[in-house]
Structure 1
Amino acid sequence: MPRLPTLDTLICEFDTALRTLAARATSARAHPDAHVEETELDDAQRRHAAGLMRVNHCGEICAQALYQGQALTARDPAMRDALRRAAHEEVEHLAWTERRIHELGGHTSLFNPLWYAGSLAIGVTAGLVGDRWNLGFLAETERQVGAHLAGHLRQLPPQDAKSRAIVEQMHLDETQHAELADQLGAAPLPVPVRTLMGAASKVMTTLAYRF
């Protein structure tokens, strides 16, 4: 049976949600673009780069909610710890992408509360199904995120070295998260589930790029 969260745990998780959505995230690690010089971008390039970084920031909002929901219902304490460690790195990604969005003159997604709520529900459900499937969902999520980030590296303006430095480090971190899930015993997800995840991700990324 999954571990039922205590009232104190629920209060802490609610606080986490508020901080994720309303507070400015901070990073223990140096921002990957800290020593990269800003380059000249025209208005179209800045809007495009800001849109891509907004998608990445939105993805990290979803990741926080997913990890939170999965950790709430995970059975194995070691797995809960692994999920929380990964979530901590995702907070750093939030800080990196948020600052870069503002540097580019953009804004974070207006739909972030909606993405967070939906992802939290999915994470709780994944945890209830069982730890191996929970890990499988985590691994597949990180693989799909990694594919999106690789695509963004191809789409970003070539001269936007600051955004590229951030996305490159995020891609490395997400790849490590997927590998960790596999090492912990992730079960491969059925093809229909992976397809549905990809379709949902497409909706999110399309809306987040514009809004």
Structure 2
Amino acid sequence: MMLILASASPRRHELLTQAGLTFTAKAADLDEDLLPSEAAAAYVQRLAEEKAQAVWNAHRASDTAEDPLVVLGADTCVVVEGQILGKPTDSADARRMLELLSGRTHAVLTGIAAITAKKTVRDLDITQVTFNVITDSEIGRYISSGEPLDKAGAYAIQGYAARWIPRIEGCYFNVVGLPIARTITLLAQAESDTPAVEKV
């Protein structure tokens, strides 16, 4: 199997490496805007598949029977109080997101998709994350560090923001950006000869 990760995320790169996989990374250049009335689960699953499909289309010539090409796409968002939070557009947007998360429990959703010449398989992971109350000065200090600016929901659970998170329910690695156990299962499904089964 020749595996390509359709993502420029260093967190996803680190997680796949940690899991012992050999792969290359190729980012997909896509419009990641939310569609009208699109639910969060549908949004991350659509983007994961679109990223994987774009990279598959660009590298399909590399696919051979001896070394089949598998492209893995992923997308993560945060949902709090009914609002879908992607990556902040600037510091003010990061502050808005962190103020929303402060003192609440939110959901982190990651859609994953794997594409081969024969099929596309998809999955979704959801983790509940609880934040303590964050003061204005703490939010300002965190934003000035630059860490929140390229993260869904404007925080990294594996970084400074860990100090505000007393509890999670679900997969920790999903919050980092890739639910590893589900991803390994998905890649095995992509490589198998059994037909794809749609997730409900």
**Richer in strand (by share):** 2
Higher relative contact order (CA 8 A, sep 6+): 1
Fold equivalence (TM over 0.5): no
**Richer in helix (by share):** 1
Q: What is the TM-score normalised by the length of structure 2? A: 0.29
Q: What is the TM-score normalised by the length of structure 1? A: 0.28
